[in-house]
Amino acid sequence: MSPRPRTRRVLSVASECAPLIKTGGLADVVGALPAALEPLGWHTRVLLPGYPGVLAQLAEAGTALRRVWATEDLFGGPATVRRGVYRTTGGAHGELDLMVLDAPHLFDRPGGPYSVDGHDHHDNHVRFAALSWVGARLAVEGTADRWRPDLVHAHDWQAGLVPSYLKYAGSDVPTVVTVHNIAFQGIFGPDQLDRLKLPTWDFHPEALEYHGLVSTLKAGMVHASRVTTVSPSYATELATPEFGFGLEGVAAMRLDRGEMTGILNGIDTAAWDPATDPAVTPFSASSPAGKDANREALLAEFGLDPAGDRPGPLAVVVTRLTHQKGVDLLCDALPGFLEAGGTVAVLGSGDPGYEYALGELAARYPGAMGVWIGYDEPLSHRMYAGGDLVLVPSRFEPCGLTQLYGQHYGALPVVAATGGLRDTVTDATPENLAAGTATGFSFGDVRLGGAIDAGGLGFALGRAADLYRDADAWGRLRRTAMTTPVDWGTSASRYADLFGELVG
Ligand code: ADP
């Protein structure tokens, strides 16, 4: 019998990790991948900033943290890395092997990970360069508990400098940079290079420089052994001026060389299972009855008319309220849907203009539309469980997770045909319905002459409302959506294959 290959080690460096700290899909991915990679022979430690909320949750959970690395001066103050295995209550995410970067001068402050009261922290470039620098040091030096990664997986601009710091240290530890959203690029002025231990000799367009400034995401995309992004469609879109946000040249170069791929995100089906989710009344594809109770409860929670009063579907929206997410398209398209008997519940926060516009719309349609401004994880679960539809009219979408949660919880997605939305939702055309492959509704496919606009969204909503009237057809569509695999299975294998290729 051949010996079992030893488990290999990956250091995942990220600014968010569910369930401890989350502002979007990045956290879900960072939190879910370790459990998916473990059976494939990869053990992950996640390096995460020691935000006060994270430290408090670890203390509350009784997670023992042991110091494994320290420095007297991390860009202006002392820093310690402490390691512990966090077990989530309820066992949803299972275990996370964490290394927390405790650097009070950078992370011990009020607000979210990036901002306070709507304003970015003024030193975000320092805070996340520090995270990246420590990630690189851990890979080079190893930790006091004798752990050294075989590979570093760096996420988004916040960890984008890890490959550069490794290069400057002369390290050959392989790196993978994953682009979760190319619109956020970690840009700052070259006067900061010295302060952040970045060499001026590498400040040129083939490395750190981006139009006279520094971009940490660009640096990562240039210096990483490989680049991945979170869906195959987004990988090819990134190489175009329309979607590349100025980094299309780097993306095209790495794509042409076969060094950039799109690996679709999955969802953590342990944490997100309508049959066991503690936030909802249980239901499943084979016994969907519980979904009605969730629907009723959601209508009541939003102060909406009870089921029976309005004939159309209940559409939910769970999103950051930004231009990317097409909130203006929603505001234009929803009146038609509401007037035709549909109901809408929105959970989101973001741009104050969109918050106001949605509030105005809800005031125009009392009983038919409700809006909850804020960020509320358990409520998001109740929304997917109660909704008939989840609306995702994004102008661009690297992967998108809300449509996956929607499918899995029987809230059929209505999506713009872009990026990962295109890759994950099979439109309810007559052919796809007949073949039993449809999982939702899509609009605006440019390849079919469409455009992502309010007209397209309105038309898709109309198609969904029509089909909703046919209870049998709706039930079949919902069953297909709920049983279509959206877990990490295939995608985790693709990461493991890529990691294995790099480590040899
Ligand atoms: P992005 O990362 O661009 O915001 P994704 O669709 O990839 O978009 O992931 C969004 C994640 O954040 C999902 O898990 C979604 O449920 C969650 N989310 C977004 N807005 C809220 C909110 N206001 N309250 C709770 N969860 C939210």
Taking CA atoms only, the protein residue closest to ligand 1 atom 17 is 24
Pairing of strands 343-350, 369-373: parallel
Which residue of 155, 277, 316, 319 sits with most ligand 1 atoms within 8 Å of its CB, as the best mutation to test the pocket? 319
Q: 212: burial class by Cβ within 10 Å (0-12, 13-18, 19+)?
A: exposed
- Pair of tokens at residue 52: 């006060």
**Is the CB of 28 inside a 6 Å radius of any atom of ligand 1?**
yes
Q: What is the DSSP string of 35-102?
A: HHHGGGTEEEEEEEE--HHHHHHHHHTT---EEEEEES-SSSS-EEEEEEEEE-GGGSS-EEEEEEEE
For residue 335, cis peptide bond before it (omega within 30 degrees of 0): no
Reduced to 3 DSSP states, what percent helix, strand and coil does the chain have, rounded to the nearest 5? 40, 20, 40
Measured CA to CA, the distance from residue 376 to residue 95 in angstroms comes to 23
pLDDT of the chain, 504 residues: tens digit per residue: 555 567 999 999 999 999 999 999 999 999 999 999 999 999 999 999 999 999 999 999 999 999 999 999 999 999 999 999 999 765 445 799 999 999 999 999 999 999 999 899 999 999 999 999 999 999 999 999 999 999 999 999 999 999 999 999 999 999 999 999 999 999 999 999 999 999 999 999 999 999 999 999 999 999 999 999 999 999 999 999 999 999 999 999 999 999 999 999 999 898 899 999 999 999 999 999 999 999 999 999 999 999 889 999 999 999 999 999 999 999 999 999 999 999 999 999 999 999 999 999 999 999 999 999 999 999 999 999 999 999 999 999 999 999 999 999 999 999 999 999 999 999 999 999 999 999 999 999 988 888 999 999 999 999 999 999 999 999 999 999 999 999 998 999 999 999 999 998
Say which DSSP state 74 is in.
Answer: S
CA–centroid distance, 59 to ligand 1, in Å, is: 26
The per-residue DSSP string of 110-135 comes to SS-SSEETTEE-TTHHHHHHHHHHHH
Angle at 296 between CA 440 and CA 484, to 5 degrees: 25
* Residue among 141, 159, 17 at smallest CA distance from 81: 141
Q: What is the pLDDT of residue 2?
A: 56
> In a mutational test of the pocket of ligand 1, which residue from 156, 375, 402 has the highest number of ligand atoms less than 8 Å from its CB?
402
375 lines ligand 1 (CB under 6 A): yes
What's the pLDDT score for residue 91? 43
Ligand 1 centroid distance, CA of 318 (Å):
6
Report pTM. 0.94
Q: H or E segment at 390? A: strand 389-392
> For residue 402, which atom of ligand 1 is closest to its CA?
6
The response to whether residue 24 sits with its C-beta less than 6 Å from ligand 1 reads yes
The reply to whether ligand 1 has any atom less than 6 angstroms from the CB of 348 is: yes
How far apart CA 392 and CA 426 sit, in angstroms, is 14
**Atom 19 of ligand 1, residue of closest alpha carbon:** 319
Written as six digits, the tokens of 74 are 């991390």
423 lines ligand 1 (CB under 6 A): no
**345: helix, strand or coil:** strand
Which of 178, 318, 390, 423 gets mutated to test ligand 1 (max ligand atoms within 8 A of its CB)? 318
Query: Does the Cβ of 401 fall within 6 Å of ligand 1?
Result: yes
Is 141's C-beta closer than 6 angstroms to any atom of ligand 1?
A: no
